[in-house]
């Protein structure tokens, strides 16, 4: 079937050209304007010789240009690669080269991240696109890059024709998620999978064309791009976005824009509540609140409910976004649950032998359905380990109750979430093993009042060596993003090990008071 995600903006521009598609920093952009900018971008991509299947990357804060590149790529059958703007040199280099991206769009203030690696990546020399962010002290466009607005604004706004037909099951996006092996994995998401994610979100939220959806989740995340932006624009609603998340501004935007749907991670809500702004605004326009992320205490849900914000918890992964969402009518009755599977997704609990478990028994959460990723980019062995006989293995442990509601118990993998960001300790451990004082190391997630979870490093030192937390964080500077830094350090004489020589992190968690099970 020849259909693609780019039709979303084309169709909306035809059906409701003057309707506001997005409000960026309080400036409205209509569907007609958005589609024209998408078309100009697509025309420029064609002019630069990009063909179906080529990868193009963005290193951008939230902005209209990110969405314009995304939809332009979709119209042409290019593969969109959104990169975390917190990435530093080695991480950025790896993801650009692993994806084979030929073009990179980047914000001016992120020039410092791009400059050190530009000669070591596969991006074509004439395909570094510089975008002004509006920051007053941002650097000027360097000689080796092209000012994006200068070249794209001169292109035609007519609908582009792809060089080859774009099929429904063609890849749309490679979205990176850190791997337990230390190497990030690129989840391949097709046009078809994305449309069915759209339908699931629209159905579960009862989304309407007059909805105003507020979410400052980064658009390089599956939540921002596939739970908020794409389904909202598909439905013809309006999204409210800002370049970055500011908790006091977020609260004021609820009243200012008469928001009807909100999505915010648990760590974001903590910061918003701390500002006290929620007690000074009118939240009566809000009818749907979606939440999720790291473990959410019931006290936080109570705080929001007291302010008229009744949260529907959700669960998903980059590999299968928002696969479970709490039905609104059960948000209070089933507090502590993450909800029920979405319409196009089947989910159950399995033991290590592949046996489906009855209600109340803890096992791995597994899923099938139309929104599940195609696989990992250029990682066939990892794909085979994750998708077995068509079943996605999430690596998360949970159980289901007699009414079919799911509960998260723990993560089978070692990943933890800090401020809504996934952190895989193996990636950080791999770097720190190069530190001259470290003999062996294990990092686990521990509770943190501000970020939900943060890292704690357990280190065995080499003979005669000494080490401080500042030493660790200084060693990590420029090698991994700051949100991955451990915030705690404990020196041990030895790490608990299995017979096969692997660290028993479960023992570290038990011994050091890390809660292994959510409140039921």
Give, in order, the Cα–Cα distances in Å from 311 to each of 10, 237, 252, 256, 411.
33, 20, 19, 21, 23
* Domain ranges for the chain: 7-17+25-167, 416-511
What's the 3-state SS for 396-415?
EEEEECCCCCEEEEEECCCC
- Whole-number pLDDT of residue 519: 30
Q: How many CA atoms lie within 13 A of 290 on its CB side?
A: 27
pLDDT of residue 520: 26
- Band (518; pLDDT cuts 50, 70, 90): very low
- Tell me the CATH class for 7-17+25-167: alpha beta
Tell me which residue of 303, 323, 319, 321 sits closest to 311, measured CA to CA.
303
| Cα angle for residues 316, 271, 180 (degrees, 5° grid) | 35
Q: What is the pLDDT of residue 402?
A: 97
Task: Say if CB 487 and CB 444 are below 8 A apart.
Answer: no
Torsion angles phi and psi, residue 473, rounded to 5:
-65, -35
Tell me how crowded residue 48 is: count the other CB atoms within 10 A of its CB: 17
How sure is the predictor about 158, in pLDDT bands with cuts at 50, 70 and 90? very high
Distance CA 66, CA 34 (A): 11
Q: Are strands 421-423 and 438-448 parallel, antiparallel or unpaired?
A: unpaired
CB atoms within 10 A of CB 130: 24
Q: How far is CA 500 from the centre of its chain?
A: 34
**pLDDT band, residue 178 (cuts 50/70/90):** low
Rg (CA), the chain: 23
pLDDT at 500 over 80: no
- List the one residue out of 248, 224, 265 whose CA is nearest residue 420: 265
Q: What is the pLDDT of residues 440-499, one digit of tens each?
A: 999 999 988 888 899 999 999 999 999 999 999 999 999 999 999 999 999 999 998 765
Percent of the chain with pLDDT over 70: 95
Residue 4 region by backbone torsions, left for phi larger than 0, else alpha for psi between -120 and 50, else beta: beta
Provide φ and ψ at 390, rounded to 5°.
80, 5
State the angle between helix axes of 266-275 and 298-305 in degrees (0 to 180), rounded to the nearest 10: 50
Q: In the predicted model, what is the mean pLDDT of residues 85-96?
A: 93
pLDDT tens digits for range 390-419: 999 998 888 999 999 999 876 666 778 888
- What pLDDT score was predicted for residue 516? 43
CATH superfamily of 416-511: ANL, C-terminal domain (3.30.300.30)
pLDDT, tens digit (0-9, with 9 covering 90-100), for 279-300:
999 999 999 999 986 567 788 8
**Average pLDDT, integer, range 219-223:** 94
What are the tokens at 33?
Answer: 């304007």
Question: What is the 3-state secondary structure of 176-200?
Answer: EECCCCCCCEEEEEEHHHHHHHHHH
């Amino acid at each position: 079937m020849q259909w693609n995600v780019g039709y979303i903006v084309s169709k909306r521009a035809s059906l409701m050209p003057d309707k506001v598609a997005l409000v960026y920093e309080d400036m409205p952009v209509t569907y007609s304007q958005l589609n024209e900018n998408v078309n100009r971008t697509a025309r420029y991509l064609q002019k630069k010789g990009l063909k179906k299947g080529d990868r193009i990357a963005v290193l951008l804060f939230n902005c209209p240009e990110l969405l314009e590149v995304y939809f332009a790529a979709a119209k042409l059958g290019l593969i969109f690669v959104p990169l975390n703007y917190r990435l530093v040199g080695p991480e950025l280099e790896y993801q650009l080269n692993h994806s084979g991206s030929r073009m990179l769009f980047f914000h001016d203030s992120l020039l410092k991240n791009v400059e050190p690696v530009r000669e070591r990546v596969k991006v074509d020399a004439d395909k570094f696109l510089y975008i002004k962010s509006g920051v007053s002290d941002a650097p000027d466009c360097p000689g080796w890059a092209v000012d994006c607005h200068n070249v794209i604004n001169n292109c035609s706004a007519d609908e582009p024709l792809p060089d080859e037909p774009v099929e429904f099951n063609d890849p749309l996006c490679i979205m990176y998620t850190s791997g337990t092996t230390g190497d990030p994995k690129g989840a391949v998401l097709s046009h078809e999978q994305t449309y069915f994610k759209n339908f699931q979100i629209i159905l579960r939220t009862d989304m309407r064309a007059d909805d105003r959806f507020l979410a400052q989740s980064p658009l390089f995340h599956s939540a921002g791009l596939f739970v908020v932006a794409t389904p909202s624009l598909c439905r013809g609603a309006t999204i409210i976005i800002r370049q970055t998340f500011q908790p006091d501004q977020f609260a004021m935007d609820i009243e200012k824009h008469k928001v009807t749907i909100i999505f915010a991670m648990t760590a974001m809500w903590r910061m918003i509540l701390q500002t006290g702004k929620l007690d000074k605004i009118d939240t009566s326009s809000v009818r749907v609140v979606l939440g999720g992320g790291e473990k959410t205490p019931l006290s936080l849900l109570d705080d929001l409910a007291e302010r008229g914000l009744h949260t529907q918890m959700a669960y998903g992964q980059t590999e299968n976004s928002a696969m479970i969402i709490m039905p609104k009518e059960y948000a209070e009755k089933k507090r502590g649950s993450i909800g029920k599977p979405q319409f196009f997704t089947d989910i159950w609990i399995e033991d290590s032998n592949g046996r489906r478990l009855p209600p109340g028994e803890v096992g791995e959460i597994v899923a099938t359905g139309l929104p599940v990723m195609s696989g990992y980019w250029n990682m066939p062995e990892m794909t085979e380990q994750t998708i077995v006989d068509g079943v996605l293995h999430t690596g998360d442990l949970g159980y289901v109750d007699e009414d079919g509601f799911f509960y998260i118990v723990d993560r089978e993998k070692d990943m933890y979430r800090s401020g809504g960001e996934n952190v895989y300790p193996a990636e950080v451990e791999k770097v720190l093993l190069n530190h001259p004082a470290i003999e062996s190391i294990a990092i686990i997630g521990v509770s943190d009042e501000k970020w939900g979870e943060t890292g704690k490093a357990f280190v065995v030192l080499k003979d005669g060596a000494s080490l401080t937390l500042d030493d660790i964080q200084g060693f990590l500077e420029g090698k991994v993003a700051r949100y991955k830094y451990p915030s705690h350090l404990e020196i041990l004489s030895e790490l608990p090990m299995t017979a096969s020589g692997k660290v028993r992190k479960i023992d570290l968690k038990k011994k050091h008071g890390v809660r292994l099970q959510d409140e039921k």
